[in-house]
Structure 1
Amino acid sequence: MPLHNFTTVAAPPDEADWRLRARCRSEGMDVFFSPSGENKPRRAERERAAKDICAACPVIDWCRDHALTVQEPYGVWGGMSEADRRKSTEIGRDMRVRSLHFLQFHRQN
């Protein structure tokens, strides 16, 4: 059984469908994933190229949501690099902590 059939059966239709419409399907994966030993300037150049492809992708939001939800550790997903996703997660965590502190403070007063 081909993997795409398994994905279609296992995932909700809209979730499975976004992968089939992703612009990266027609690109080499070497643009989206770092080869071993890649230096910083080359990495920045490769990530910029990947993000340019993502920017024109019709399913960028679904891809980004997927990467953040499952905490994809590698590659550019939904226009976000590994570092972008880590930063986004840290910002979200900081906001949740601040909101909790704010609520606790106002409940006491």
Structure 2
Amino acid sequence: MSVPSVDDEVAPGVPACRGVDPELFFALGQGGGEGPRVRAAKRVCQDCPVREACLRAAVLQEEEYGIWGGLTPEERRRLHEQSRALLALGENAARVLDELLLSGGTLHGRQRPAAVLVLLARGWSERDVADALGIEYASLRAARDTARLVLWYCRVVGRRLPSWADARPEWSGAGRIGGRGSGGTLGIGRAEDADVGRSGRPA
């Protein structure tokens, strides 16, 4: 198994996992469920000064196992899929969205986060966006939060963002990992819905 390292990253600070048993970060249960040890590992990552460098190294080296940068393998996979869906429209997102709104067409779940960001960037209120897209306010907020998390992921791993997504840099802050309660869950939904070393010397 490859072991990502942040040694080559420009990431000042001492990793929060230094001195922590590396096995804690590979304690995923059957099916990737989040047990107490997984939540404990995420809490370690929560305020780590090298969290982003850790995640970037794991993504670039296609690490399939363990918690890196506070994300489980399943969360990394979902963010990868969601980032592809969000960026697929590229610079044409605004035009595609306008055509959908004018024609009364259906907005696919994978397009929803991008559509929400485009309309918010235009200065629309969240209530107006929800009405325009024909979705519940709770679904609007879920899509918005998913989009912000995906933008953060894209910036961390070095993906180029279209101008409409790059217009509001404050959107790409992941904030505290585990923002939905003390368990450390990121709340990364299915793409269709919302839409560094650990070898004796933790990095």
The answer to whether residue 67 in structure 2 is matched with residue 93 in structure 1 is no
Identify the match of residue 83 of structure 1 among 34, 49, 74.
Answer: 74
**Once the two structures are aligned, what percentage of the paired residues are identical?**
29
Match of 2:50 in 1: 59
Give the structure-2-normalised TM-score.
Answer: 0.37
Q: CA RMSD in A?
A: 3.3
Three-state SS of the structure 2 residue aligned to 1:21 is: coil
Q: Gaps spanning 5+ residues in structure 1: where?
A: 1-6
Higher RCO (C-alpha under 8 Å, 6+ residues apart): 2
Q: Structure 2: any 5+ residue segments left out of the alignment?
A: 97-203
Deviation at 1:56, TM superposition (A): 2.6
Give the paired residue count. 92
Describe the shift of the 1:60–1:31 C-alpha distance in structure 2 as closer, same or farther (beyond 3 A): same
Summarize deviations over 1:44-98 as a string: whole Å, max 9, x none. Answer: 3221111100013111111112122222111000111111100110011112323
Which of 17, 30, 40 is residue 23 of structure 2 equivalent to?
A: 30
1:41 & 1:80 partners in 2: Cα distance?
Answer: 11
TM-score normalised by length of structure 1: 0.64
Give the aligned partner of residue 14 of structure 2: 21
- Letter paired with 2:80: T
Distance 2:21 2:69 in 1: 16
Q: Give the partner amino acid of 1:67.
A: A
The whole-number CA distance in structure 2 between the counterparts of 1:19 and 1:67 is 18
